[in-house]
Each structure stands twice: as structure tokens, then as C-alpha cells.
Amino acid sequence: MNLSAKAVPLKMCPPAEGRVLLHACCAPCSGAILESLVAAGLDVTVFWSNSNITPREEYDLRLGELQRYCALLGVPMVVDTYDHEAWLCEAAAGREDAPERGSRCSACFKFRLCRAALYAAREGFACLTTTLASSRWKDLSQVDEAGLAAVALAREQVSGSQLVWWGANWRKGGLQPRRAEVIKEQNFYNQTWCGCEFSQRAASSVPTNSNKTQYE
């Protein structure tokens, strides 16, 4: 483990004792959270399920950055199947023109978190959380709603699962400033759009003098 001495002490506890599955959307969103979970001594596994990201080269780039960081911290990482076509059908169809924080994003969160919850339930994890709401461009309540629904569904499908949703606010407790530091320290590739083609289209229409040059 190569943990920074600057890791922010975790000011919240998981809602259940046992292994934590952290659904991670990208390295910039995950860096500060992950180092704090590890520093707190939690048994954490990273779950990568981000079929929303396109094109494939962009997906691979973001995945590679997080793999590099997990290897540095010695954290196990599970990579879900990439299926952008399924994501388009199940999460985006009919919602292509919805704005960010709208109905497409709710469906997108649910698509990814359902896969994470199912994996967590099958593998006997105690709780599931996500880095999705750590970005200031995301709506925490939308992510929370999707996480709760995903865990409820997984518990229905996997008999005996006691999986619990950990709806933590990862923007609090000093994690937001530390997030920016980790991005710099690790020299993470930092995307300028959320992930799907619709968000890329929206980002490309933002004036170049806007402060939204990085998606953090």
C-alpha cells in the first residue's frame, strides 16, 4: 500500500460491518474517497461499471487511470463488462435530449448501480456506495435514489443478501479540497465531459471562456 499521509480521516461510518463495494466512475472522483476508506482500515473493493462512457478509447483511458491508482493503493478492482449498446437502449433511449441532472442521468445511475448492487449481493458485500455524487455537477439526491433502488432490487434477486446502501455525501468532511490535491498529485487524466455522447455534445457547446474546463 502506498498511502499518502495527507489522506483525510473518514468522518462517517459505513452503515453495516463488513466488506464495502465502492462503485467508481473515474479516477478524479475516486482518488480522495478511496485513500480515506483505505486509511480508515475498511475492507474496500472498487467496482468499475461505466458502460455510459464513449468512445471506447475514452473508456479505456479512464479505466486505466483508476487501475493505476488501485494498484498503487493495493485495492482490488473488479471490471464489469463494457456494453454501451445496452446502456443506450436501457438508460438513454427516449432521453437523449434530457439535460444533465435530468431523467437520462437518473436512468444512467440506476443502470450502473444495479449492476454493482447485484455483484455486491452475490459476493456477500455488506454495503455499496459510489463516487458518482462526489462531482459538483451531480445531484446527490438522484444518485441516492438510484442506489437505494439498486440495492432493494439486488436483495430481492439474491436470496439471503443483507446488502445495505451507503448514501454518503463524499463532498463533505474535507474530501472536496483533498480531491483536487489528489488529482494534481497523481496527475490524473481529467475529462471535460461526464461520459456519454450526449454530455460530450453539451460540453462542446460550452464557451471556451467558461470555467467548466474540467469535469471535476
With CB under 6 A as the rule, give the number of residues binding ligand SF4. 10
Closer to ligand SF4 at the Cβ: 37 or 108? 108
Helix axis angle, 140-157 to 103-122, nearest 10°: 40
Contact with ligand SF4 (CB under 6 A) among 63, 194, 215, 216: 194
What mask, x for binding ligand SF4 by CB under 6 A, covers residues 33 to 72?
Answer: -------------------x--------------------
Contacts of 112 (CB under 8 A, 6+ apart): 23, 25, 49, 50, 51, 52, 132
The one segment of 8-16, 41-49, 167-175, 196-204 that binds ligand SF4 by CB under 6 A: 196-204
Query: Kind and range of the H or E element at 45?
Result: strand 44-48
User: Residue 166's closest CA among 21, 25, 38, 41?
Assistant: 21
101: cell is 441532472
Three-class secondary structure assignment of 102-150: CHHHHHHHHHHHHHHHHHHHHCCCCEEEECHHHCCCCCHHHHHHHHHHH
User: Taking the complex as a whole, how short is the minimal distance between the CB of residue 93 and ligand SF4, in angstroms?
Assistant: 12
β-pairing verdict for 44-48 and 164-165:
unpaired
Stretch that binds ligand SF4, among 6-14, 66-74, 104-112, 171-179 (CB under 6 A): 104-112
Binding to ligand SF4 by residue 147, rule CB under 6 A? no
Q: Does 83 bind ligand SF4 (CB under 6 A)?
A: no
Q: Based on CB atoms, which residue is closest to ligand SF4, 87 or 125?
A: 87
Q: Please choose, out of 122-130, 145-153, 194-202, 206-214, the segment that lies near ligand SF4 by the rule CB under 6 A.
A: 194-202
Q: CA-CA distance, 154 to 34, in Å (whole number)?
A: 24
Told to check if 90 binds ligand SF4 by CB under 6 A, we report: no
- In angstroms, give the least distance from the CB of 54 to ligand SF4: 9
| Positions in the binding site for ligand SF4 (CB under 6 A) | 52, 100, 104-105, 108, 194-196, 198-199
